Each structure stands twice: as structure tokens, then as C-alpha cells.
């Protein structure tokens, strides 16, 4: 197995930082799972790193990277929005296509929280989604409004609209354009018009993102789709048996999706 820290450019002249693992070259092209982190997260989030490591030992190439304005990538959170993050995925896929032993026609997206919503929007895009064979989400939210409500109180939202920016006490500054851009993207349309299998995974006792979000996503999505609820688990899936179940479910889902796509 080859592991390397990678840097690749964005279409807007920034640089994205990530970590890539590729199975040893045996003459076959391997599918690649692209990991997408949450609003406040980065590529080194503990659960993401755990799953990245586990899935890398199952014959997949795996890439986790910092979206624009997060972690080690260039820019600030104030510059980031969904439109730019969709372009970040474009950049990641373009970069991965330069590796001769990565399957350039069957990428798999695994998104956490906001990363899950971005994954669904990306895959449902007619042009962008051509290279995506499946999407799995963990703890994703059901609507764009619920995403906004998850990081802005009504008072903070009004302040953002009045001043044009909001400075979090424990995070970066975001600008009004961040929210305006979010409203441009139709998650409901993505759920209705995707052609790839969608997997919604959620903890039954998620204390950060209510389980109702997973049920709403599943209800709104067209086929093919799957809902997996991990009973008696929380947002971080701390119990070893829950994490093992996540791994087994993801492997089964991605392998089944690849067989169907090929």
C-alpha cells in the first residue's frame, strides 16, 4: 500500500491538502473513495480518519482532504461555500484521474454531515455525477434550512444579514454570501433526480443531528436508496461494535454499487 500527503490546485488557484492511500499496483484499476468532512471539520476528524484507514485495507484507494478554508488547505471559512466546495470535488477527481491505477470512471463519495449533503448535490448534477457510482452519508441533514439552523441561531442569522458577516467565538468568520450560496442549491432536487445508489447512515441517538433527518432524506430520495440506523449509538459512534458495523455496511454498499455500475 502506498500512502502519501498530496497537494492539488483548485480551479480558483487555491491549493487543497490531503492524504491518499492506493493499493499496491497489481495491474488492475482500483475504485477510489473520496471522504468529505463536516462544516466545522477537516480531513483529520477522528471518525473520518478511522474509516479512511479501515476502508483502505479492503482494496480501495482512499482520499481525505481539507475543503477550501479548512484544515491545511488554502483560503478561509469565510471564502468557502457549497459552490466552491463542489469545485473542490471537481479538483480532487481531476487530480485522482492522473493516477494510472485508479478507476477514473467509478468514484465513490462518503460525506459526513454537511459533507454528505454536498456529496448528494454533486452526484445528482447531470455532468458531474457521471463519474460517481455511489454516495454514502453519515449524519447528514435533510434540508438546506436545517443546515443553516445547525450553525446559526436566529440572532446570529439576523446579525449576519445586517452586518454581512458573523464571527464565531470558536470558529472562523463567515459572510452573508455563504448562506446566500447555500440557498442556491436544491437538496430536494438532488434527492429526486440522482441515479446512483444513496446510502443514509445515522445513529439512533445522535445528539448533534436528529435521526429524523435520516428518515426524511430516505423518504424524499428516489430509488436506489438505503437507510441504515445504528441502534443505541451516538454522533461519534464510539462503541467498537458500532464502528465495525459502519465498516461492514460501507464495504457491502460500495461493492454492490460498483457491481451494478460496471
Is 110 in contact with 123 (CB distance < 8 Å)?
Answer: no
Overall size of the chain counted in residues: 262
pLDDT band at 170 (very low <50, low <70, confident <90, very high): low
Determine the 3-state secondary structure of 37 from DSSP.
coil
Whole-number average pLDDT of the chain: 93
Given a contact cutoff of 8 angstroms between Cβ atoms, the answer to whether 214 and 205 are in contact is no
Q: How far is Cα 239 from Cα 223, in angstroms, rounded to an integer? A: 31
CA pseudo-torsion sign 175, 152, 16, 89: negative
Does the structure show a pLDDT above 80 at 172? no
3-state helix, strand, coil in the chain (%, to 5): 40, 25, 35
Beta strand extents in 2-101 (DSSP E only): 2-9, 15-22, 30-36, 61-65
- CA nearest 85: which of 165, 166, 16? 16
Ordered domains of the chain (ranges, CATH): 2-261 (3.40.50.1820)
pTM of the model: 0.94
47-59 confidence digits (pLDDT tens) = 999 999 999 999 9
Q: Which pLDDT score, from 0 to 100, does residue 148 have?
A: 86
The number of beta carbons lying within 10 Å of the beta carbon of residue 123 is: 27
Could you report the per-residue pLDDT of 4-27, keeping only the tens digit for each? 999 999 988 899 999 999 998 767
In this model, does residue 79 exceed pLDDT 80?
A: no
Which ranges in 99-153 belong to alpha helices (H)?
114-124, 144-151
| pLDDT over threshold 70, residue 105 | yes
| Residue linked to cell 437538496 | 187
pLDDT band at 218 (very low <50, low <70, confident <90, very high): very high
Residue 185: asked if its preceding bond is cis (omega within 30°), the reply is no
Amino acid at each position: 500500500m502506498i500512502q502519501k500527503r498530496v497537494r492539488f490546485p483548485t480551479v480558483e488557484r487555491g491549493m487543497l491538502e490531503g492524504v491518499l492511500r492506493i493499493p499496491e499496483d497489481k495491474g488492475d484499476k482500483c475504485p477510489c473513495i473520496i471522504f468529505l468532512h463536516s462544516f466545522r471539520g477537516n480531513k483529520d476528524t477522528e471518525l473520518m480518519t478511522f474509516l479512511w484507514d479501515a476502508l483502505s485495507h479492503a482494496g480501495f484507494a482512499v482520499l481525505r482532504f481539507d475543503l477550501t478554508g479548512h484544515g491545511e488547505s488554502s483560503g478561509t471559512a469565510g471564502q468557502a461555500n457549497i459552490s466552491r466546495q463542489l469545485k473542490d470535488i471537481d479538483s480532487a477527481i481531476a487530480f485522482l484521474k492522473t493516477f494510472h491505477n485508479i478507476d477514473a470512471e467509478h468514484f465513490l463519495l462518503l460525506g459526513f454531515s454537511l459533507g454528505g449533503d454536498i456529496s448528494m448535490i454533486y452526484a445528482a448534477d447531470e455532468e458531474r455525477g457521471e463519474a460517481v457510482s455511489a454516495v454514502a452519508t453519515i449524519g447528514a441533514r435533510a434540508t438546506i434550512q436545517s443546515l443553516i439552523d445547525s450553525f446559526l441561531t436566529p440572532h446570529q442569522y439576523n446579525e449576519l444579514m445586517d452586518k454581512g458577516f458573523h464571527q464565531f467565538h470558536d470558529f472562523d468568520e463567515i459572510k452573508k454570501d455563504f448562506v446566500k450560496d447555500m440557498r442556491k442549491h436544491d437538496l430536494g432536487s438532488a434527492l429526486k433526480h440522482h441515479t446512483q445508489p444513496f446510502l443514509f447512515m445515522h445513529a439512533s441517538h445522535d445528539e448533534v443531528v436528529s435521526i429524523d433527518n435520516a428518515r426524511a432524506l430516505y423518504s424524499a430520495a428516489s430509488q436506489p436508496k438505503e437507510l441504515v440506523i445504528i441502534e443505541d449509538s451516538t454522533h461519534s459512534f464510539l462503541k467498537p461494535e458500532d464502528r465495525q458495523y459502519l465498516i461492514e455496511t460501507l464495504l457491502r454498499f460500495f461493492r454492490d454499487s460498483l457491481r451494478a455500475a460496471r
